[in-house]
Amino acid sequence: MEAVAKHLQDEAMSRAQSTEGDLFGRSAFNRYYYATYLEVRRELGVIKHEWGAHMDHATIPDLLRGQLLKGLTSGFRQATKIHDKELITTCSAAMEAAKELAKLMERGRGARVTADYNPQILVKFNAHDFELNSVRVSEAKSWPPKAKIFMNTITRAWKYIND
């Protein structure tokens, strides 16, 4: 999915002076978001099957800040009680990752909604990049790898807590 997004990004830049540039640019944002969403949904399903099966876009940030964070916080408290410094550090990093990933997913979904449903908000091009509603495509390109890092941190802590 990321390769498709990158191709669409390149096409948008090559067509920046035409209306096609806007269309390819919107599609690039959309694909970067979906690459991120699919990665997060897949990894959440590894943690708990029901979290990955049919996870709706809008519910992921709530899940990350709710049930997932609650589980990580519980593990952090247990680690604190038994003075397990490694688990304290692991849980603390995962708690922060869950919060940051929730923000990333909300920002990404916002860009995707703008791309899909707000054609009156045009993609703005400059010499090296473009943006849609104040989100640069370079930021969107960073979403999937950031999501992978956040999910690795979360999964590591979750396994540590629940094994």
Per-residue pLDDT reduced to its tens digit, 54-66 = 788 889 999 999 9
Query: pLDDT band at residue 163, thresholds of 50, 70 and 90?
Result: confident
Alpha carbons 154 and 131: distance in angstroms, whole number: 30
Give which of 161, 26, 44, 25 is closest to 102, Cα–Cα. Answer: 44
In this prediction, residue 151 carries a pLDDT of 98
Tokens of 155: 């999964």
Backbone phi, then psi, for 136, in 5-degree steps? -80, 145
pLDDT of residue 131: 97
Q: Give domain limits for the chain.
A: 2-162
Following DSSP, what letter does each residue of the chain receive, concatenated?
Answer: -HHHHHHHHHHHHHTTTSHHHHHHHHHHHHHHHHHHHHHHHHHHHHH-HHHHSS--TTHHHHHIIIIIHHHHHHHHHHHHHTT-HHHHHHHHHHHHHHHHHHHHHHHHHHHHHHHHH-TTS--EE-SS-EEETTEEHHHHHHHHHHHHHHHHHHHHHHHHHH-
- Concatenating the DSSP letter of every residue in 113-153 gives HHHHH-TTS--EE-SS-EEETTEEHHHHHHHHHHHHHHHHH
> What pLDDT sits at residue 52?
81
pLDDT classification of 162: cutoffs 50, 70, 90: confident
What's the residue count for the chain? Answer: 163
Calpha distance 115→107 (Å, rounded): 12
Per-residue model confidence as pLDDT tens digits over 78-133: 999 999 999 999 999 999 999 999 999 999 999 999 999 999 999 999 989 999 99
- Find tokens 């909300």 and name the residue: 106
Q: pLDDT averaged over the chain?
A: 95
Q: Tens digit of pLDDT for each residue in 44-53?
A: 999 998 888 7
> Above pLDDT 70, what percent of the chain?
100
